[in-house]
Amino acid sequence: MKSITINGSERESVGKVATKALRNAGEVPCVLYGGETPVHFAADERAFAKLVYTPNAHTVVIDLGDNGTFNAILQDIQFHPVSDKILHIDFYQLFDDKEVSMNIPVVIRGAAPGVLNSGGVLSRNKRKLKVRALPANLPDEIEADISELELGDKLYVTEVADEKFKFLHPDNTVVCQVRTSRVSLKIEDEVEGAEEGAEQGAEGSTEEGASAEE
């Protein structure tokens, strides 16, 4: 998995006054969990742009200079309710022999016959899937091949599985499916209505003819 480096500095004070001062200076207070003790640090808000404002998944290298370098993943993030500025970020430290859970983006591959030939619409039920794996086995993305999906078909999480990681979803979780479009449904309803009207008209003509013969 691709990694992003965040250069920061360890925080000596973690009180409200110090935290407010950090934010006013354009820095984000952060905590790294998973080790023997939590590590409190801060980094420039601009350093998180490629990590936070992207659909891609990344691991993180937290470089605190003389205080060490840590491999981690983003665990939680808090935004200001009005300005959307980053208020706080929690990270979780990675260890080579310890599995972690992470949301991985789903990438669609191929073209569904049910869309190309039958007028269906591709519905994406899951844009991300949560997996559990060793850090070395975390994928950059999960590939969903839709090249065999006909109208009404569904692609389940079991069909995009990989032995390197485990999905934290039920086996019947639908990743994507090809649905009948609203336009097609409307046309079908109109055709059915026309057919019913024609049948009723034919029945009426037959009954009138029978009455005339009597």
> Where are the chain's structural domains?
3-94, 101-183
pLDDT one-digit tens code per residue, 122-146: 999 999 999 999 999 999 999 999 9
Where do we find the tokens 């080579």?
A: 96
Report which of 171, 174, 169, 167 is spatially closest to residue 153, judged by C-alpha positions.
174
Report if pTM > 0.85: no
The whole-number pLDDT of residue 181 equals 77
- Name the residue type at position 115: V
The whole-number pLDDT of residue 12 equals 81
The whole-number pLDDT of residue 194 equals 47
State the SS3 of 119-162. Answer: CEEEEECCCEEEEEECHHHCCCCEEEECCCCCCCCEEEHHHHCE
For the domain made up of 3-94, give the CATH fold. Answer: Ribosomal Protein L25; Chain P (2.40.240)
> Alpha-carbon distance 115 to 121, whole Å?
6
Residues 6 or more apart in contact with residue 129 via CB below 8 angstroms: 103, 104, 106, 142, 157, 160, 167, 169, 173, 175
| Backbone φ and ψ of 119, nearest 5° | 75, 20
Joined together, the tokens standing for residue 80 give 């200001």
pLDDT one-digit tens code per residue, 147-174: 999 999 999 999 999 999 999 999 999 9
The whole-number pLDDT of residue 113 equals 95
Q: Which CATH superfamily is domain 101-183 in?
A: Ribosomal protein L25, C-terminal domain (2.170.120.20)
